[in-house]
Structure 1
Amino acid sequence: MTRLDWSAHPLVLAPMAGGPTTVALAAAAARGGMFPFLAGAYLTAARLREDVAALRAATAAPFGVNVFAPSPNLPTMHADALAYAELLAPWAAAAGVELGEPRYDDDAFDAKVDLLVELAPPLVSFAFAWPPAEVVARLQAAGVEVWVTLNDPDEVAWAQELGVDGLVAQGWEAGGHRGGPVDTGAEQLAVRELVSALRDRSPLPVMAAGGLMTGGDAAQLRAVGAVASAFGTAFLDCVEAGTAGVHRYALTHRSGTRVTRAFTGRSARALSTTWTERFGDVAPAAYPHVHHLTAPLRAHGKATGEAELVHLWAGTGHAGIRPMAATELARTLRAELDAGNG
Structure 2
Amino acid sequence: MQALGESSAGVTTIAVMTSWPDTRILDLFGISAPIVLAPMAGPVLADLTVAVAQAGGLGSLPCALLPADRIRAELTEIRSRTDAAINLNFFCHTTPEPDPVADLAWRARLAPYYVEAGLDPSVTPVASNRNPFDGGACEIIEEFRPEAVSFHFGLPEAALLERVRATGAKVLGCATTVAEARWLADRGADLIIAQGAEAGGHRGMFLSTDVGTQVGTFALVPQVVDAVDVPVIAAGGIGDPRAIVAALALGAAAVQIGTAYLYTPEARIAVGHRKALLEQNADDATALTNVFTGRPARGIVNRAMRELGPMSEATPPFPRAGGALAPLRSATEPAGSTDFMSLWSGQAGTLSARYAGLSAAELTRTLAREALARL
Match of 2:299 in 1: 270
- Give 1:210-229 correspondences, 5 Å limit: 210-229=236-255
> Any residues of structure 2 matched to 1:15-164 within 5 Å, and which?
15-18=39-42, 20-71=43-94, 73=96, 78-97=100-119, 100-102=125-127, 106-107=131-132, 109-164=134-189
Matched residue SS, 1:222: helix
Partner of residue 305, structure 1: 336
Flag the 1:175–1:87 CA change in 2: closer, same or farther, 3 A.
Answer: same
Task: Tell me how far apart the structure 2 counterparts of residues 224 and 332 of structure 1 sit (CA, whole Å).
Answer: 22
Q: Distance in 2 between matches of 1:329 and 1:102?
A: 37
| Correspondence for 2:276 | 250
Report what 2:320 is aligned to: 289
4+ long deviations beyond 6 Å: none
- Cα shift at 1:261: 0.4
- Stretches of structure 2 that go unaligned for 5 or more consecutive residues are 1-23
Amino acid at match of 1:181: F
Deviates more, 1:61-70 or 1:93-102: 93-102
Cα displacement (A) at 1:225 = 1.2
* CA offsets 1:232-274 (integer angstroms, 9 cap, x no match): 1001121111111110000122421010101110100010111
Q: What is the aligned counterpart of 1:325 among 352, 359, 362?
A: 359
Considering Cα pairs closer than 8 Å and 6+ residues apart, tell me whether 1 or 2 has the greater RCO: 1
Aligned residue pairs total 339
Q: 1:313 to 1:103 in 2, by over 3 A?
A: closer
Task: Return the TM-score normalized by structure 2.
Answer: 0.84
Is 1:314 matched with 2:336?
Answer: no
- Could you tell me the percent identity over the aligned residues? 33
Structure 1 residue ranges without an equivalent (≥5): none
- Give the distance between the partners of 1:267 and 1:180, measured in 2 at CA: 9
User: Post-superposition shift, 1:79?
Assistant: 3.0
Paired residue type of 2:58: F
Shift of 1:88: 0.9
Higher alpha-carbon Rg: 2
1:4 aligned partner: 28
TM-score, normalization: structure 1? 0.92
User: What's the Cα RMSD here?
Assistant: 2.2
Checking the alignment, whether the CA contact within 8 Å between 1:237 and 1:248 is kept in structure 2 is: yes
